[in-house]
């Protein structure tokens, strides 16, 4: 047997029903917030991601040369492609430009629980002005989506990378060294961050002050001893979020999002049900378009790990509603098959999910099959019923059977 590639999955009909339900739900929430959907290619030029994340990213990607000897890769994430699209085609759109997307991404890494080489990401980008309102709108959308899925236990942690950048700059750290330090601080790898900070010329006092800052968490009051634009910006962000009705949001200056292009507010969302690997969403404000040849513009966005959200929901015991087959049509004999197919066609044309016996089973086996596919009703098309232009409608839940006029069938099922 030919096996599927490692780190990928097949999805059975029941799984796809669940995935499409939550995918559709996320899209609906984004639309209600004024975001519009965009789509980009699954493969891009490798340079797009090298420019964004550095040459080291190539080792984590499915990178290859095509038949024209061009360096291409399967996209590892969706922010860079969307900003590339903005720079090339969307700069004349009215601002704020609010976009969302959903698609497959690929990373060559060791598969583990909730992490795959082929995974799905839902995300959004807002391109406009560097205001607290814009940042709060993006966080609010992410929070609304997570809440709408039905996830019970989740927390949103918000920081501002400007606070740490300011401290590192004041300590004499150069930009290239700063990126490496922030990446270690983002992962709380303090034992690895300390030698880097020492090597960058920081004093012991400055070093420990930075580490202590990354451990500050709690309500807005934890920033009372801070001053400056970053504090005021976060204060305004929190005011908008509270007006939106989100109270499970806290300050966490340890949220660093260790990527060089983040410039201000950063945030993450966690689902404790996932244990140590609990992050389900991450984002912030950034400057990226100028790296791709465009003007420098304010952007703020996020990515939600779709697979990880579904895993968290499953661990909490949350399931999607099952659609099932609304009506399963059964002709009692060969003579009634044409009439049965006409009935099922009329039901489908009316938007009713309907199926019909294709295996020429007897009535008992058809009832058993209808039960196995969770059909709500079975419609029995018999000769006696046809004489009075009717069918027998069987409720598969209660077993109750009633005679229904064929002309009334659609209205009865919709009711």
The winner for highest mean pLDDT among 25-29, 106-110, 318-322 is: 25-29
The whole-angstrom separation of Cα 113 and Cα 277 is 9
Residues 120 and 19 in one domain: yes
> Does any domain span residue 300?
yes
Give pLDDT, residue 260.
Answer: 65
Give pLDDT, residue 411.
Answer: 94
Q: pLDDT tens digit string along 47-86?
A: 999 988 888 889 999 999 999 999 999 999 999 999 999 9
Give pLDDT, residue 116.
Answer: 92
Residues 285 and 370 in one domain: no
Domain count of the fold of the chain: 2
Q: In this predicted structure, which of 125-139, 181-195, 389-403 has the lowest mean pLDDT?
A: 181-195
Q: Which two tokens stand for residue 177?
A: 């060294």
- Is residue 300 classed as helix, strand or coil in its secondary structure? strand
Distances (CA, A) of 110 to 104, 113, 115, 117, 366: 17, 10, 8, 8, 46
Q: pLDDT tens digit string along 370-387?
A: 999 999 999 999 999 999
Give pLDDT, residue 53.
Answer: 82
The whole-angstrom separation of Cα 82 and Cα 245 is 30
Residues 395 and 346 in one domain: yes
Q: Write down the mean pLDDT value for the chain.
A: 93
Give the pLDDT band (50/70/90) at residue 112. Answer: confident
- Please list, in sequence order, all residues whose beta carbon lies within 8 angstroms of the beta carbon of residue 238, skipping any fewer than 6 positions away: 136, 158, 220, 249, 251
> Does any domain span residue 285?
yes
Q: List the CATH number of the domain containing 131.
A: 3.30.930.10
Residues 260 and 393 in one domain: no
Q: Which residue has the higher pLDDT, 204 or 31?
A: 31
Q: List the CATH number of the domain containing 409.
A: 3.40.50.800
> Does any domain span residue 8?
no
> Does any domain span residue 102?
yes
Last residue of a domain, one of 316, 337, 352: 316
Q: Are 115 and 36 in contact (CB under 8 A)?
A: no
The 8 Å CB, 24+ separation contacts for 163-168 are: 163/213, 163/226, 163/228, 163/230, 163/231, 163/253, 164/210, 164/213, 164/214, 164/253, 164/256, 166/228, 166/230, 167/206, 167/209, 167/210, 167/213, 168/200, 168/202, 168/210
> Does any domain span residue 2?
no
- 63: Cα separation from own chain's centroid: 24
The whole-angstrom separation of Cα 60 and Cα 57 is 5
The Cβ-side half-sphere exposure at 23, using a 13 Å CA radius, reads 14
The parent domain of residue 359 ranges over 327-414
Q: Is the pLDDT of residue 265 over 60?
A: yes
Residues 276 and 349 in one domain: no
Last residue of a domain, one of 316, 342, 362: 316
Give the pLDDT band (50/70/90) at residue 307. Answer: very high
Give pLDDT, residue 194.
Answer: 92
Residues 225 and 253 in one domain: yes
Share of residues in the chain with pLDDT > 90 (%) = 75
- Is residue 387 classed as helix, strand or coil in its secondary structure? helix
The Cβ-side half-sphere exposure at 216, using a 13 Å CA radius, reads 24
The whole-angstrom separation of Cα 34 and Cα 97 is 9
> Does any domain span residue 279?
yes
Q: pLDDT tens digit string along 185-235?
A: 888 889 999 999 999 999 999 999 999 989 989 999 898 888 788 889 999
Give the pLDDT band (50/70/90) at residue 104. Answer: very high
Share of residues in the chain with pLDDT > 70 (%) = 99
> Does any domain span residue 78?
yes
Last residue of a domain, one of 271, 286, 316: 316
Residues 298 and 219 in one domain: yes
Residues 220 and 127 in one domain: yes
Write phi, then psi, for 81 (nearest 5 degrees): -60, -40
Q: Which of 140, 135, 193, 143 is nearest to 168 (CA)?
A: 193
Residues 252 and 333 in one domain: no
Residues 121 and 252 in one domain: yes
Question: Angle 280-147-217 (CA atoms, 0-180°, nearest 5)?
Answer: 60
Residues 280 and 410 in one domain: no
Q: Which of 354, 340, 339, 369 is nearest to 414 (CA)?
A: 354
The whole-angstrom separation of Cα 155 and Cα 158 is 10
> Does any domain span residue 322?
no
- The strands making up 390-395's β-sheet, listed across from edge to edge, are 354-356, 327-331, 377-381, 390-395, 401-405
Q: pLDDT tens digit string along 334-378?
A: 999 999 999 999 999 999 999 999 999 999 999 999 999 999 999
Give pLDDT, residue 259.
Answer: 64
Q: Is the pLDDT of residue 270 over 90?
A: yes
Give pLDDT, residue 258.
Answer: 57
Residues 386 and 311 in one domain: no
């Amino acid at each position: 047997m030919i096996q599927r590639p490692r780190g990928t999955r097949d999805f059975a009909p029941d799984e796809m029903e669940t995935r499409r339900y939550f995918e559709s739900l996320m899209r609906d929430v984004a639309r209600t917030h004024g975001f519009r959907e965009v789509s980009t290619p699954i493969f891009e030029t490798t340079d797009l991601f090298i420019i964004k994340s550095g040459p080291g990213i190539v080792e984590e990607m499915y990178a290859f040369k095509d038949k024209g000897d061009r360096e291409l890769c399967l996209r590892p994430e969706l922010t860079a492609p969307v900003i590339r699209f903005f720079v090339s085609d969307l700069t004349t759109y009215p601002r704020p430009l609010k976009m969302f997307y959903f698609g497959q991404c690929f990373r060559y890494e060791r598969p583990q629980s909730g992490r795959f080489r082929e995974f799905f990401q839902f995300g959004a980008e807002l391109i406009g002005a560097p205001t607290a309102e814009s940042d709060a709108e993006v966080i609010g959308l992410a929070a609304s989506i997570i809440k709408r899925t039905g996830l019970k236990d989740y927390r949103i942690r918000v920081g501002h990378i400007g606070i740490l950048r300011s401290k590192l700059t004041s300590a004499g750290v150069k930009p290239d060294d700063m990126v490496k330090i922030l990446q270690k601080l983002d992962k709380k790898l303090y034992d690895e961050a300390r030698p880097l900070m020492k090597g960058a010329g920081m004093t012991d006092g400055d070093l420990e002050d930075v580490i202590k800052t990354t451990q500050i968490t709690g309500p807005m009051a934890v920033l009372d001893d801070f001053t400056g634009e970053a504090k005021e910006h976060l204060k305004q962000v929190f005011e908008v979020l509270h007006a939106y009705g989100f109270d499970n949001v806290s300050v966490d200056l340890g949220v660093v999002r260790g990527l060089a292009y983040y410039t201000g507010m950063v945030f993450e969302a966690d689902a404790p049900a996932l244990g140590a690997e609990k992050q389900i969403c991450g984002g912030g404000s950034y400057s990226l378009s100028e790296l791709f040849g465009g003007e420098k513009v304010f952007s703020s966005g996020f990515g939600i790990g779709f697979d990880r959200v579904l895993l968290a929901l499953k661990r909490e015991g949350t399931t999607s509603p099952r659609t099932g087959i609304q009506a399963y049509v059964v002709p009692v004999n060969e003579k009634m098959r044409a009439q049965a197919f006409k009935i099922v066609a009329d039901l489908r044309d009316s938007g009713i999910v309907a199926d019909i016996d294709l295996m020429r089973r007897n009535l008992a086996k058809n009832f058993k099959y209808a039960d196995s596919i969770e059909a709500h009703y079975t419609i029995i098309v018999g000769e006696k019923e046809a004489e009075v232009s009717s069918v027998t409608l069987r409720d598969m839940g209660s077993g109750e059977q009633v005679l229904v006029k064929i002309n009334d069938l659609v209205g009865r099922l919709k009711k």
